[in-house]
Amino acid sequence: MPTALITGATAGLGAAFARRLAGDGFSLVLVARDETRLAEVADQLKLRYGVSVEVLGADLATEDGLARVESRLRDGVDLLVNNAGFGHPGSFPTVPVEDEVRMLKLHCEAVLRLTLAALPAMRERDRGAVINVASVAAFFTRGTYSASKAWVVNFSESAAAEIGHPRIRIMALCPGFVRTEFHQRAGMDAATIPGFLWLKADDVVNEAMRDLALGRTVSVPDLRYKAIVAVGRFVPRGVVAAVSGRLGRR
């Protein structure tokens, strides 16, 4: 039975990945900071899908948390989903530097280190995959969040090319606005975001798994967002920055 490790697994896209992969017969390793909630999610998945679920409480913005998950990955998994992340309630440069550094540690350092920790066992088994959850924001300009997600996309494409192994895949997943807890925690006003831009977490995960199977290195779920990204390449950067900066702001 294949094993998948998912970070940020208690809500949103992480929980959707857990449901999809459990339904596909994966044993799960779920990683999150809230150990109580983590245990509740694990019990629900075991009951519904009858799969093995291991829980690992860890804050990936800390050295101890990263080291714990790295150690588990060295034992081997078939699929790593680097999903943990957050958004700031404020905008640059008003966000405290400590919060900015925490974001970079979680979105960039954790993705780098966990991917590197997972790859040796995948090479030994001659198979495996890594999905790094980025965002459509990676193609636009919205402070440190966009910059960090742009790094995730570039890193994933570069790593996939340099590994050059047909049975080991690395893909960046770039969803748009998904109905999760993310926006509330980030202090965003969801009412300012047009209704047609919202996606369902389960739909995003299903499209991500399809794109991974097709060997794509970047997945942008939904035709609406594929079009937005394509058009955005031809719009002046200043205009893009002005529009993206207003979306979701209170």
Which of these is catalytic: 46, 105, 145, 226? Answer: 145
User: Residue 189 — very low, low, confident or very high, per pLDDT cuts 50/70/90?
Assistant: low
Which one from 46, 49, 105, 149 is the annotated catalytic residue? 149
If you average pLDDT over every residue of the chain, what do you get? 90
Whether the model pTM is above 0.85:
yes
| pLDDT of 197 | 87
Give which of 78, 32, 79 is closest to 57, Cα–Cα. Answer: 32
Per-residue confidence (pLDDT) for residue 160, from 0 to 100: 97
User: Which pLDDT score is estimated for 181?
Assistant: 59
Please confirm, yes or no, whether 149 is among the known catalytic residues.
Answer: yes
Say what the pLDDT of residue 110 is.
98
The predicted pLDDT at position 247 comes to 52
- Report how many domains make up the chain: 1
Percent of the chain past pLDDT 90, that is, above it, reads 78
Q: What is the pLDDT of residues 148-163, one digit of tens each?
A: 999 999 999 999 999 9
HSE at residue 91, side-chain half, CA atoms within 13 A, is 12
Distance of CA 222 to the CA centre of its chain: 16
Residue ranges making up the domain that contains 167:
3-246
Residue 141: pLDDT band with limits 50, 70, 90 = confident
Rounded-to-integer distance, Cα 249 and Cα 193, Å: 9
Q: Tell me how far apart the alpha carbons of residues 85 and 14 are, in angstroms, rounded to a whole number.
A: 10
Pairing of strands 128-133, 198-199: unpaired
The count of other CB atoms within 10 Å of the CB of residue 114 is 25
* Residue 187 clears pLDDT 60, i.e. is over it: no
225 a catalytic residue: no
Q: List CB contacts of 130: < 8 A, sequence separation 6 or more.
A: 79, 80, 81, 82, 115, 118, 119, 156, 159, 169, 170, 171
Q: Confidence class of residue 94 from pLDDT cuts 50, 70 and 90?
A: confident
What's the mean pLDDT in 87-110? 92
Q: Write the CATH number for 23.
A: 3.40.50.720
Asked whether residue 190 carries a pLDDT value surpassing 70, the answer given is no
Please, what's the b/e burial string for 200-226 (b: 16 or more CB within 10 A of its CB; e: otherwise)? Answer: ebeebbebbbebbeeebbbbbbbeebe
